[in-house]
Structure formats: structure tokens, C-alpha cells
Amino acid sequence: MSDSIRNIRTIAKREFGGYFASPVAFVFIVIFLLLAAFFTFMIAGFFERGEANLQTFFTWHPWLYLFLVPAVGMRLWSDERRLGTIELLLTMPVTAWQAIVGKFLAAWAVLALALALTFPVVITVNYLGHPDNGVILGGYIGSLLMAGAYLSISSMTSALTRNQVVSFILAVVLALFLILAGYPPVTGLLVQWASPWFVDGVAAVSMMTHFESIQKGVLDSRDVLYFLSIIVFSLFTTGVIVRAHRAG
């Protein structure tokens, strides 16, 4: 077990360093912060609302992540395959799942760092009013979990192809499906011709549904479980794909 943890840490450390050796991480963080600020303050009118919470801030995260997270995750495995380094990595005394988890955690840490750098908005809202900081913490946890879910999907699609662009597009499409399934305009449309239980079923697999309740401050174990199961499932599938490719 300690071997596993050491291998995962070694791989994660390298991957994390890789993000900062290229401009990927910096560009991601800067764009994430700019867009988050833009949506929160310009589009949603954070100040005009005069509410002491971060609803307007978190509401946009599913959409921000839609494009930004696949941009971070697309290189995870496609690059290893394109450069042939996957052959080095998987002939080391490490298991495929250690490599998959290690690389995933590194990319997730980049996303977590970007999210953490939005702390000024927490300070601002605390300065202006008296928000429920428990709700805000819940929102952050939910947002991080959702980012992880998007990322695990990107990991899966990047294992499918050595082409980063293809991997990016596939991840966006899959993530978009998971958003739209519970997006009110879409569910509204569905209700008109599908039975309610079907609509509820579709909405239940949506990120939106689960993220919404989390950002309202209800950290329900079912929502947490939802995101974790997406992560576990996608990483497991990543493993299956990596294995299948090696089998030729």
C-alpha cells in the first residue's frame, strides 16, 4: 500500500511540475480568474444584487469548467501516447491505476489552485456583509468536486486518442451532455413530451441538479457521492481504455 501511495505521489509530482513547465497552468489560472470575475461582476451583477452570498459566483462554474477543464485534462494521456512516454511509464514497476490516479490528482490540484485563488471574492463578500461562510465553503467543495468530475471525463477521452484536440472536443461534448440533462430550459422542453419520471431520471445524471443543491449550502451525501461516482467511473474507464490500447 505504501508503495502505491509513493508511486502515485511521484507521478503526480511530475505531472504537476509538467503543468507549470509549460504555460498551460498559468494560462488556465489567469483565464479562469478573469472569466469568473467577468461573469460574477459584469454579467450577474454581483454588487447590484446586494446579497451577501456567492450564488452569482458559483452559478457560472459549470459553464466555465465546460471549456477550461478539458483544456487542462486533454493532455493527460494523449501526450503520453503521442510522445511514446506511456511506454516508459507503464514498464516502470507501477500499475496503470497508480499512473491514472497520480496524473488525475496532479491536474485536479491545478484546478484546486485556480479555485483557491478566487479567495478575494470571499473576502469582498465578508467585507460588504455577513454571508454564511459555511454555505460558501460548501459551494467551494461542490465546485471542486464538479471540476474533478469534468476532469475525470477529460482523462477518459484523452486516453482514447493521441490527438489533444479530439480529446478536448469529446470531453466538452460529454460534459455538455451532463450539464444540459438538468438545465432548466432543457428539462422544460423534455417535460412536454416525456413522462415526468424520465425527465427526473435524466436530470438525476446531470451535474446541474447536484451542483445546484450543493451551492445552496446543502452538502448532501448523495450529491457528493454523485460526483465521486463520476470520477471513479471515468478513471476506471480510463484504465480500461489504456489497457485496451496496449493490447493492440
Partner 1 sequence: MIKVRNLKKNFGPKVAVNGVSFTVAKGEVLGFLGPNGAGKSTTMRMITGFIPPTDGEISVGGFDMLNDPIPAKRLIGYLPENAPSYGDMTVQGFLSFAAELRGLAGDARRQAVERAIEMCFLEAVRHQSIETLSKGFRHRTCFAQSIIHDPEVLILDEPTDGLDPNQKHEVRTLIRRMGEKKAIIFSTHILEEVEAVCSRAIIIDRGAIVANGTPAELKARSENAGAVVLRLASGAAAGVKSKIDGISAVERSVVVSESPLVVRAFPRKSGRGPEFARAVGEVALRERWAVEELHTEEGRLDEVFRDITLPDTGATKEEAQ
Can you give the binding site for partner 1, defined by CB under 8 A? 3, 6-7, 10-11, 14, 17-18, 21-22, 83-85, 87-88, 90-95, 246-248
Q: Quick one: 12 or 172, whose CB is closer to partner 1?
A: 12
Min dist CB 141 to partner 1, Å, is 31
Min dist CB 229 to partner 1, Å, is 28
Min dist CB 190 to partner 1, Å, is 42
Min dist CB 110 to partner 1, Å, is 14
The single residue listed with the C-alpha cell 450543493 is 214
Q: Quick one: 21 or 225, whose CB is closer to partner 1?
A: 21
Write a three-state SS string for the chain. CHHHHHHHHHHHHHHHHHHHHCCHHHHHHHHHHHHHHHHHHHHCCHHHHCCCCCHHHHCCHHHHHHHHHHHHHCHHHHHHHHHCHHHHHCCCCCCHHHHHHHHHHHHHHHHHHHHHCCHHHHHHHHHHCCCCHHHHHHHHHHHHHHHHHHHHHHHHHHHHCCCHHHHHHHHHHHHHHHHHCCCHHHHHHHHHHCCHHHHHHHHHCCHHHHHHHHHCCCCCHHHHHHHHHHHHHHHHHHHHHHHHHHHC
Q: Quick one: 9 or 216, whose CB is closer to partner 1?
A: 9
Min dist CB 242 to partner 1, Å, is 11
Spatial contact of 238 and 100, defined as CB atoms under 8 Å apart: yes
Q: Quick one: 93 or 185, whose CB is closer to partner 1?
A: 93
Ramachandran angles phi, psi of 199, nearest 5°: -60, -45
Q: Quick one: 84 or 185, whose CB is closer to partner 1?
A: 84
Q: Quick one: 4 or 163, whose CB is closer to partner 1?
A: 4
Min dist CB 80 to partner 1, Å, is 9
